[in-house]
């Protein structure tokens, strides 16, 4: 029998992944006007890549059905072209007066954040349900 702690571990990995997605979406939004970044040029939008991952608790090797957790496989830069805006007075404008701006779409980030927040809530609900079950199992001894 898979242990309930494996369920909590899987849900915790889900919380972690969704939190990372929210963090990345927030930093994309915050940098939607940053024309300079560490790698030179404007900020590039970042994307989280998730991959499913078997959670193996202590007794995991003895079982067929463990819980499937999730992990952040990579945070990649979005390679779509930068947006361009005509603003000759801007210090980073090119010789034609155009400024390259980050390839961040605020609407896209908001949708990402909403879906991550929903998934985060679902994982929290799952943890609460499992916790209630553990509690009830403890009550057997009363």
Partner 1 sequence: MADIRDSAIIDALRRQMSIAAAKQVVAAGNLANVNTPGYHARAVDFTAALERQMGGTLSLAGTAGGHLEGTVSEAVSTEEIDGLQPRRDGNNVQIDRELLTMSGAAGDFARAQTALAARFRMVRYALSEGR
Q: Considering the rule CB under 8 A, would residue 74 count as an interface residue with partner 1?
A: no
Q: Which of residues 14, 28, 44, 82 is near partner 1 by CB under 8 A? A: 14
Q: Considering the rule CB under 8 A, would residue 102 count as an interface residue with partner 1?
A: no
**Of 57 and 102, CB closest to partner 1:** 57
Residue identified by tokens 């496989």 is 73
- 80 DSSP assignment: S
Q: What are the residues whose beta carbons fall under 8 Å from the beta carbon of 17, sequence distance 6 or more?
A: 48, 50, 70, 71, 72
Q: Which of residues 36, 41, 51, 114 is near partner 1 by CB under 8 A? A: 51
Q: Considering the rule CB under 8 A, would residue 139 count as an interface residue with partner 1?
A: yes
3 state DSSP class of 138: helix
d(CA 105, CA 57) in angstroms, rounded, equals 40
Q: What is the DSSP pairing of strand 67-77 with strand 46-55?
A: antiparallel
Binding site for partner 1 (CB under 8 A): 1-4, 6-8, 10-11, 13-14, 17-18, 21, 50-52, 55, 62-70, 115-116, 118-119, 122-123, 125-127, 129-130, 132-133, 136-137, 139-140, 142
């Amino acid at each position: 029998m898979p242990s309930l702690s494996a369920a909590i571990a899987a849900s915790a990995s889900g919380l972690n992944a969704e939190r990372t997605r929210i963090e990345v979406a927030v930093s994309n939004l915050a940098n939607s006007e940053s024309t300079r970044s560490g790698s030179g040029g404007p900020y590039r939008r970042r994307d989280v890549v998730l991959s499913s991952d078997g959670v193996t608790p202590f007794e995991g090797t003895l079982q067929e059905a463990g819980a499937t957790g999730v992990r952040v496989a990579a945070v990649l830069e979005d390679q779509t072209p930068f947006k361009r805006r005509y603003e000759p007075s801007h210090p980073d404008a090119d010789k034609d007066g155009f400024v390259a701006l980050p390839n961040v779409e605020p609407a896209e980030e908001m949708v990402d954040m909403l879906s991550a927040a929903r998934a985060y809530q679902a994982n929290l609900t799952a943890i609460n349900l499992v916790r209630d079950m553990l509690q009830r199992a403890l009550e057997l001894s009363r």
